[in-house]
Structure formats: structure tokens, C-alpha cells
Amino acid sequence: MNHPRHTRVAIVGAGPAGLLLARLLHRAGIDCAVLESRDRSYVEQRQRAGILEQSTVDILRHSGAADRLEREGIPHEGIELRFENRRHRIDFPALTDNRRVWVYAQTEVVKDLIALQLEDGAPLYFDAPVHAVEGADTDRCTVHYTHDGQDHTLTCDYVIGCDGYHGVVRKAVPDHVTQVHERAYPYSWLGILADAPPVYDELVYAHSARGFALASMRSPSVSRLYLQVPNGEDPASWPEDRIWDELDLRLGADAGWRLQRGPITARSVLPMRSSVTEPMRHGRLLLAGDAAHIVPPTGAKGLNLAVSDVTVLARALTGLYDSGSHDLLDAYSDTCLRRVWRAVHFSHFMTTTFHTSGNQSSFDTRLQLAQLDRVATSHHASAELAHNYTGTAVAQAPAAPPVGYLST
């Protein structure tokens, strides 16, 4: 296999952020290469988010990566909130000028993008761990990586870190040039996949004295369900009957409501935390997705923020190579962080409103219920939640003209 010695853009990480960025750059005529430390099977099986915002679906369509999404994705026009034996539906189209979300797992987005990349896209190397990134403050970066047992060196104009919070690109940014804002939450999620048809049409968010629960889905025959559990919980301590019984107790808005049970095919515990690294650029190193920010999954923002980041970045790089202007690239971090902090705030709101901790006072519980009652009884509060959940259009820097197909 021939390895390029130079490319304009080196992308580290073949998750949805890195793969979509490569797709956008390739379609814009900008050469790039993607380096992924894991093998293809691992990348295509990682269980992650499953909710796509309107703007995420729009950019997948623009990039030619939505054919299977159009056939198999499940559009949702609302979510249901359950608390105090009450049920309240948030009607997305009615509250947001016809915006909605789609249920389509991140694993499927990744499979679609990998297939397109291997068919007609830029170079994509699996089992290619990056060991070092150099030259952020010079006129050319150097990436050192291994593939097929051989060490390689790749020079490039820019390195994009899409390799997560613990990735090598984020570590290559000196600590003194960044500030990291973090919050850890005192609970986790036990998430399961089950071969059980959902008995609900849309996602159900449940506040309960026993803890939070969420009913989601992957398809008409596969349920994705979550339970709030203590940090450090061992998934093995939750046999199947215990999981189903607890889900019924937390989700049951009335005595007759029960889940359809089936074999649990996967289970894991997911810690809840928020983290934002500022700025998202250091010289010729740029961060996107989880390398720059992490949000708890309660607001379904993680994947969608990654898509927003790389859409802004692709527009900025297209502007640079088309016109020679650095304006959009120089504004990249500030442009993205405005949306990031809105999403962090919304995710924090959803997390702290629905979860209860073991030492929570009755005062705190009554505040949560008062907030949920306001959402259920106020058009403005429902509309604010709907707008945040379905997402805003991908941000642009002030006075920046749209560039080709990347315009929004």
C-alpha cells in the first residue's frame, strides 16, 4: 500500500467527525488523509449516540452520505416527558418551524461514511496509531504513525484532532495555551440494547424518585434503554429481570404501562461528565468533536456537535484554499464555541432536571418538578426545549459568505 508523504490536511481519528470532515474536504477538492488507531471492525461496532439533529441530517444529505439514512432512519417529531405520573409531549414541528430529529445510530453513520471513503474518498488507514505530532508553530506539521508494522512520516499543512479526549492531537497542544472547563456528575447510565420492539413511538424521558430512565430505540425491533445508576456500578450486578423491572417502575406513567421484554444483547455503564477545551486551535493543530468537548448524553448533543465542528472547519478550509483568506479558519474556535456552550448548557439542564441523587433534599426535588411543570404548562418553555433539542443551524462566523455546497 502506497502511503502519501504529504497532504494538505491530516485527520487523526475515524469516528464520525474525522470521516465526515474527510468526505467534505474530498468533495471540495482538498486532499487529506485519515489515520485511525483501531481496526475497521472495532470502529464500526462502537455503540454511541443515536439521535441526529435536523442540521446533522442536512449536512449528511449535502455530503452524499444519507442514502441509507433516508431508507432506514426513523424521523421523530417529538419526545415525551414523564414525571409525577404525568405525561407531556414536546411537539417539535409545531414549536420549531417544522424541525425534527432522526433515530439513526452513530455506528450506522460511521459505516456509511467508511464505505464512501473507501469507494471514492481520500486515503483512510485503520490500525494506524499516531505516535507524535510536531510543528504546530511552524509552516508545516509532521505526523509520525505506524501502519502494517512500518513507521511512516506524513507532512501536512494542518492536523485535525478527531481522536477524542485522550487523543494524541489534544495531548500535543501545550497545557499553558488551553483552559479546560469540566464538571463530573454524581451518577452514570446503565445502557442496554435489547431485541425487543419498542412500545413507544418517540423517546421517553422519565423523572422518578428511583432515578432517571430513558426509553429510546435503534429500529422497530430493537430497543435502546437507559437507567441512572451510581458511579462505578458493575453492569454484571444487573441481571436481565432486575433491569426490566426497574425500567418498568421508572417509566410507567400509569399502572398499565409495561415495556416489551426481550433478550439483552449489550450492556455498559456510561459516566456522565461535561468538558470543554478552549481554544479549539493551536497554530496548525485544530480540535473537533470529543477532542474539544464532551457533554452528557441526556441532551443528545455529542455527535451533533462533532458534525457542526467539522462542517464549520470544512467551510473554513475550503475558503482558505479557494481564496487564500484565513478569516474563517481564524474564527473557527470562537464560531464553534458559541454553539458548544449552548449545547453544554442544555445538556446540563436536562441532566440536572431529570436525575436524582441519593442524598438529594426534598427542596431540590421540588425544584426539579417545578421546572418540569413549567415546561408542561408554558408554550415558551416547551418551545425553548424543542429548539435546543432539535438543534440550531450550523454556526457561521459573522459576515462570512457561504462557500459552495457547505452553505447553510
The residue annotated as part of the active site, out of 158, 297, 332, 355, is 297
Q: CA-CA distance, 397 to 329, in Å (whole number)?
A: 10
Q: CA-CA distance, 226 to 191, in Å (whole number)?
A: 4
Q: Is 111 designated active site?
A: no
Which of 276, 285, 275 minimizes the C-alpha distance to 11? Answer: 285
For residues 343-353, one letter each, b for 16 or more C-beta atoms within 10 angstroms of the residue's C-beta and e for the rest, the string is bbebbbbbbbb
Q: CA-CA distance, 165 to 173, in Å (whole number)?
A: 12
Q: Is 42 designated active site?
A: no
Cβ neighbours around 135 below 10 Å, total: 17
The residue annotated as part of the active site, out of 76, 207, 293, 355, is 76
Q: Rounded to 5 degrees, what angle do the CA atoms 43, 47, 56 make? A: 85
Cell of 266: 449489550
Q: Is 76 designated active site?
A: yes
Q: Is 235 designated active site?
A: no
388 contacts 55 by C-beta, under 8 angstroms: no
The residue annotated as part of the active site, out of 158, 205, 226, 332, is 205
The residues assigned a catalytic role are 76, 205, 297, 301, 389
